[in-house]
Amino acid sequence: MATSALKRPTPAFFPSETATVARPRAVGLTHVLDRLQGLHAEELSYLAPYFDFAKIGWGLPLLLPRELVRERIAKYHAIGVEVSTGGTLLEYAVVHDRVGPFLDEVRELKFDLVEISSGIIELSPGQIESLAREANRRSLPYFIEVGKKDPQHQLSLKETISQVAHARSLKPRKVILESRESGRGVGFYDSDGQIKWDWVRSILSEHPREDLILEAPLESQQVSLLRELGADVNLGNVALGSVAPLASERLGLRGETFGTIRTSREVRGPPAAKFLFFLLETYRALDQTQLSQMSRLPRRTVQSALESLRRQGLVQESISLHDSRRREYRLT
């Protein structure tokens, strides 16, 4: 008797329908910069699972009649994507003493979020708190962006870490790290657009990456951040035309990330524990001295973080194969 008829059908290699996602996602977010390019319904329908926020950047909403802005927002809402204003628009409202009317109209036009920033003008911590209160009073969620747009007037690493801490204390949806559209000479990028990894690692040693959106306008930057920080890192300032390439990179479907994307594992505890987990995931086996030097954390903090990782079953201690006097730490 032939047995072929009893075999189960082989699953299709190509999907039969568009992927679905459960929103809102906490990690793996893609934040898109809308430059008022064309929005085609068919294209948006298949891109929908792969991005979460669209920011109508700068002061661009002022270039359109308000009904066209409303229609544009509705197109994003139809595919489950939230829409934000750009920080420049709020800074413009501050300069012209129109913050109240601006926020009222943002609500009326059905924007989902407002971005609070001080990328061009100087705003004190108290002024940023006041803007957050005004948004809260209107039940309007917000992002807070940290960083300066002028490459000649940048925050120091210490100032950046401090401003991120202040921003997080105001309970935004996410804190955005500024890069501008060029991705060069701003924030954690050098003048060639290369990532300043000492900055990134220092920031992540103090602040959980799930609270942050790292702007990465260049596809090369997106690949580097995915390879180092994992597929679920939150990325922003992504061009609409880069959404599909980025999604394929997150899934390890391109040569740059094929077989190299980190496996996501839940790491609980303080930021130091999460940062040490990242170092061990990157460098495989390290002792306490190496971890302290690379993380710039005090030895006692390193010991406490390692103990937290051990209790979670994420790290094991062993004798070094190269020096029996050393204790190395590896991921389980």
| pLDDT tens readout for residues 114-148 | 999 999 999 999 999 999 999 999 999 999 999 99
One domain for residues 227 and 97 = yes
Contact 189, 221 (CB under 8 A): yes
Decide if pLDDT at 275 tops 70: yes
Query: How confident is the model over 228-254, as a mean pLDDT?
Result: 91
Report if residue 14 sits inside a domain: no
**Residue 8: pLDDT band by 50, 70, 90 thresholds?**
low
One domain for residues 239 and 139 = yes
Decide if pLDDT at 313 tops 60: yes
pLDDT tens-place string over residues 171-209: 999 999 999 989 999 999 999 999 999 999 999 999 999
Q: Which of the listed residues 190, 216, 250 is the one where a domain comes to its end?
A: 250
Report if residue 72 sits inside a domain: yes
- Closest listed residue to residue 183, CA positions, set 142, 261, 242: 242
Which structure tokens are listed for 243? 């959404």
Q: Which of the listed residues 220, 250, 280 is the one where a domain comes to its end?
A: 250
Query: How confident is the model over 61-73, as a mean pLDDT?
Result: 96
pLDDT at 10: 60
pLDDT at 20: 73
Contact 329, 292 (CB under 8 A): no
Report if residue 82 sits inside a domain: yes
The β-bridge relationship of strands 142-146 and 175-177 is: parallel
> Phi and psi for 318 in degrees, rounded to 5?
-150, 165
Query: How confident is the model over 320-332, as a mean pLDDT?
Result: 80
Report if residue 224 sits inside a domain: yes
User: Residue 296: which region, alpha, beta or left (left: phi > 0; alpha: psi -120 to 50)?
Assistant: left
One domain for residues 243 and 122 = yes
In our burial notation (b when 16+ CB lie closer than 10 A, e otherwise), range 276-292 reads bbbbbbeeeebebebbb
User: What is the percent of the chain where pLDDT is above 70?
Assistant: 92
One domain for residues 277 and 219 = no
Find the angle CA(247)-CA(250)-CA(256) to the nearest 5 degrees. Answer: 105
One domain for residues 224 and 155 = yes
One domain for residues 309 and 240 = no
Q: Distance between CA 170 and CA 117 in Å, rounded?
A: 13
Lowest-pLDDT range of 146-155, 214-223, 253-262, 308-317: 253-262
One domain for residues 183 and 305 = no
One domain for residues 276 and 239 = no
User: Which has more pLDDT, 120 or 273?
Assistant: 120
- Closest listed residue to residue 74, CA positions, set 109, 104, 103: 109
Decide if pLDDT at 323 tops 90: no
Report if residue 106 sits inside a domain: yes
pLDDT at 37: 87
pLDDT tens-place string over residues 22-38: 788 888 999 999 999 88
Report if residue 25 sits inside a domain: no
- Closest listed residue to residue 72, CA positions, set 111, 32, 24, 113: 111
pLDDT at 17: 76
In the predicted model, what is the mean pLDDT of the chain?
A: 90
Residue 325 belongs to domain with CATH number = 1.10.10.10
One domain for residues 227 and 173 = yes
One domain for residues 287 and 192 = no
CA 9 to chain CA centroid, nearest Å: 40
Does pTM top 0.85 for this prediction?
no
One domain for residues 78 and 183 = yes
Query: How confident is the model over 69-90, as a mean pLDDT?
Result: 96
Residue 213 belongs to domain with CATH number = 3.20.20.70
Q: Distance between CA 121 and CA 124 in Å, rounded?
A: 10
Q: Distance between CA 151 and CA 93 in Å, rounded?
A: 23
Lowest-pLDDT range of 124-128, 186-190, 266-270, 303-307: 266-270
One domain for residues 155 and 43 = yes
**Residue 68: pLDDT band by 50, 70, 90 thresholds?**
very high
Domain span holding position 240: 30-250
**Residue 258: pLDDT band by 50, 70, 90 thresholds?**
confident
pLDDT at 11: 62
pLDDT at 260: 62
- Total number of domains constituting the chain: 2
**Residue 167: pLDDT band by 50, 70, 90 thresholds?**
very high
Report if residue 221 sits inside a domain: yes
